[in-house]
Chains A and B, each alone.
Chain A
Amino acid sequence: MRVSVDRDRCEGYGLCAEEASHLMHLDDDGELVLDRAEVPPESSDAVEAAVRVCPVAALKVS
């Protein structure tokens, strides 16, 4: 599974980072940083949860 962020949609709410803090974080400017684009199998649930809590539907998994 891969996770990607649509930069045009992302507004830096950071709710995703609360769900999957080991895979993504906000930098000092409030920009989302994906620490790993390739999601390890044991983290797929956390990443899917992160996708669901994004208020602007900016995260996608494939």
Chain B
Amino acid sequence: MNELERVVVVGASLAGTTVVDTLRRLGYAGSVTLIGAERHPAYNRPALSKGVVAGTDGLDDIVLPPPSGEVDQLIGTPAVALHADRKEVVLAGGDRIRYDGLVIATGARARRLADLGAADPGVQETTFRDLDDAHRLSALLATRPHVVIVGAGILGMELASACVDRGATVTVVDRQPPLLGQLGPYLADLLITAAARRRVRFAHHPGGVRLRGTSGPPAVELADGRRFAGDHVLSAVGCAAETGWLASSGLAGAHGLVVDTRCRVAPGIVAAGDVVAFPSAAGPRRTPWWHSALEQARTAARALLHGDDAPPLTPSPYFWTDQFGMRVRVAGLLPAAGRPAVVDGSLPDDEPWAGSALLRWPGRGVAAAVNRRIPIGRLRALAQLEPAGT
């Protein structure tokens, strides 16, 4: 077992703070240094696309308690390089921080259409990721503008919901039909029906989307030539692992920081959260969700202290979204193919917002609760229930 005296955690959001909590709970008594890039103290990120955009939450409502116990916090000081051979993290400004054990929890940044080669040179592109973005969008919505959102995934749809709640009109444009790739056909249809009721308009074309124009708000163009202009255009086309600072370390690949099933990157280095590509049947995959960050952080802390004696992580995916008056929670691996069995309740096809139900996809290990509360453990048990007679 390693004898650790100095643990450095790079990234001060959910994954980073959960690693610190877990290390202390496991009895680690050495020093902890927590390094955060943002100028704000750690806050609850899921609230951004909800209460903060709605204008009902400020930083005080969503700020997280500071880390428990003795922790040296360096907030507003991004790490800019890692020298793994010397066990040093280099901060913006040049300070070098030594570690025995390193936790990488730098999360992800908003991906841009420009990164994907889908924007005209010089085009002004707005994304949504942090508290400053949420405040900016909240202020823009005061004039009840028309907003064009590029990206019909989870974030794009949650933003569309928050925008129409503030009186904006919204068009959502994507390469793919809304939510289909993320949730599967049944849950996607449910939420599209609820969005259409709020007059959200949708457009998609498999040939892709492009941002056009070099001054003022850009226009969004689909491959078939349809153009969409708005007072504001928002890109919500996924996120990319925040690994730029690891470039010279050779640790990070093109799709994130690959870890083993104990969230280990290299000797003395573990990682957790949105930055991580975790082993799956289809190869290393990023799962940038709240619950993944939690279970990876707990695993990473154990692995840092106990190495091979730490239990490997078997992910138990848990996902939720709130949009257009619908609350959907899912246990199991998404997207869920096919139509579910209704275990309890009902969801009218034409007005699903009026119903509530427990659903399961037999044989697929997936269950969902729509518009109702259920403890996470019970939803998981429902997902894993085998069909009667098999």
Contact = CB atoms under 8 A, between A and B. Distances in A.
A and B: partners?
A: yes
Contacts of A15: 291, 294, 376
Contacts, number: 65
A29 B373 contact: yes
A48 B44 contact: no
B375 A61 contact: no
A49 B18 contact: yes
A52 B14 contact: yes
Contacts of B216: none
Interface in B81-108: none
Contact of A57 (B17, B62, B68, B375): B62
Given A26-B375, A57-B47, A51 B65 contact: yes
A8 to B, nearest CB: 10
B47 A30 contact: no
Interface in B349-390: 372-377
B43 to A, nearest CB: 8
Contacts of B69: 45
A6 B14 CA distance: 20
Nearest to B69: A45
Contacts of B14: 52-53
A45 B25 contact: yes
B205 interface: no
A55 B61 contact: no
Contacts of B377: 14
Interface residues of B, number: 30
A28 B47 CA distance: 26
Contact of B320 (A13, A48, A51): A13
Contact of A49 (B21, B61, B327, B376): B21
B234 to A, nearest CB: 22
A11 B372 CA distance: 9
B294 A53 contact: yes
Contacts of B329: 13
Contacts of A54: 44
A11 B373 contact: yes
Interface string A9-24: 0011111011100000
Contacts of A29: 373
Interface string A34-62: 00000000001110110111111100010
B146 interface: no
A59 to B, nearest CB: 9
Centre residue among B50, B68, B377 by max chain A CB count within 10 A: B68
B373 A56 contact: no
B290 interface: yes
Contacts of B372: 30
B175 interface: no
Contacts of A46: 25
Contacts of A12: 373-375
Given A18-B376, A45-B21, 5 more contacts: A12-B373, A19-B21, A31-B373, A49-B25, A55-B44
30 contacts: A11-B327, A11-B373, A12-B373, A13-B320, A13-B329, A13-B376, A14-B375, A14-B376, A15-B294, A15-B376, A17-B375, A19-B21, A30-B372, A45-B25, A46-B25, A48-B65, A49-B68, A51-B65, A52-B17, A52-B21, A52-B42, A52-B64, A53-B18, A54-B44, A55-B44, A55-B320, A56-B47, A56-B50, A57-B44, A57-B47
State the 8 A-B residue pairs at the shortest beta-carbon distance, nearest first: A30-B373, A12-B373, A45-B68, A49-B21, A26-B375, A57-B44, A14-B376, A48-B65
